[in-house]
Amino acid sequence: MSILDHYLDEQLSRGRSYFSKDEALRAHGFTAEAFTAAATRLIKKHRLVSPWRGFYLILRPEDRVAGAPDPVRWIDPLMKYLKLDYRVSLLRAAAFHGSSHQAAMVFQVIVPQQLRGFDIGRHRIQFIYQAPAAFSETNQQEWLQRLKSEAGFANVAGVELLLLDSVRYFHRAGGINGVAQIVHDLGSNADPRELAKAAAWYENSAVRRLGYLFDHFGQKRQSKVLVPFAAKAKSMKPLDPSIKPLIEGTDDLAEKNSKWMLAINESVEIDQ
C-alpha cells in the first residue's frame, strides 16, 4: 500500500472524504511528481476523483456507482478551497425545502464570480453568477439555512432567497412554470418582511414576476409586500421573457396586468 493510500485511510478515519493536493504534500512530504503519479493511479482505480484542479474526493465503495459522492458532502470544502462564499439554490434548494416536484438533477450554486460548471460522475454542478454587490447584501446568515452533511454544513438559500433566485434565474429553474411550481409549493412559507428586504437587491422585473405568481396562487401576504416594487416600474415586461412572438408585433396582443406591469404571454401550469 502506498503512502497516498495510507493518507486516504487517515482522512476517512477522521470523517473527511476530501483533501487538497497542498494538504497531502504538507502531511507526508510527497514531491509534486510523486503525488501526481500516485493520484493518477488511484483515479484510474476509482478510489479518487477530482472535481477541481488540486482538490480531491475519496470514493467509498458506495460512491463508485454514481462516480462521485453527493455534492452536498463536499461543496462547502470545495468553496472554502476556492476562497469563495456561496449558497446552494434553485432546484436543489427547492427540494431541500420540500418542493416534492423538484427532482434536483442538477446541483446549482450561486456565487459572486464567473465559474464554469462541470459534470462529475452522474452529478452536474452549475455555478450561477450574481453580481458581487447584490451577492454580498443577500448572502446573509439570516437568509440562509444549513444543510447538514458529513463534512459539516452547506449553505442553502432560505425560502425567501430561493424564491427570488428562482424567478431571477428562471431559465435555470425549469422556466417560468418551474418557478411557478416552486412558488406554489413554498411561497406561503416566505416571511413577508424578509422577502421585501431581500427583494430590494433583485431586478424590479423579477420581483414583479414573483408578485404576480404569489397573486396567482392566492399568497396575499407575500404579494402585498412586493406591490411597492411594481409601483416603480417604468415599462411593461413579459411574464416569460424566453417566449418570442412568432410574428413581430403580436406580443402586444398578450393580456396586460397593470398591477404588476406584466404582459401575460404564458399561461401558468403546474403539477398539483
* Tens digits of residue pLDDT in 219-242: 999 999 999 999 999 999 999 999
pTM for the predicted model, two decimal places: 0.91
DSSP H helices in the chain:
3-13, 21-28, 32-44, 75-81, 90-97, 132-138, 159-168, 175-186, 192-199, 204-216, 220-224, 227-231
Instruction: Tell me the helices (H) and strands (E) count for the chain, helix number first.
Output: 12, 12
Residue 22 sits in the same domain as residue 138: no
Residue 121 sits in the same domain as residue 106: yes
Q: What pLDDT does residue 271 have?
A: 84
Region 185-198: what's the mean pLDDT? Answer: 97
Residue 14 sits in the same domain as residue 133: no
Residue 166 sits in the same domain as residue 117: yes
- Domain count of the chain? 2
Nearest of 189, 239, 195, 193 to residue 213 by alpha carbon: 239
* Tens digits of residue pLDDT in 124-169: 999 999 999 999 999 999 999 998 876 678 999 999 999 999 999 9
Quick one: angle between helices 204-216 and 159-168, nearest 10? 110
Cell of 237: 415586461
Q: What pLDDT does residue 30 have?
A: 80
Q: Is the pLDDT of residue 11 over 60?
A: yes
Q: Is the pLDDT of residue 105 over 80?
A: no
Q: What pLDDT does residue 226 have?
A: 98
CATH label of the domain that carries residue 49: 1.10.10
pLDDT band with cut points at 50, 70 and 90 for residue 1 = low
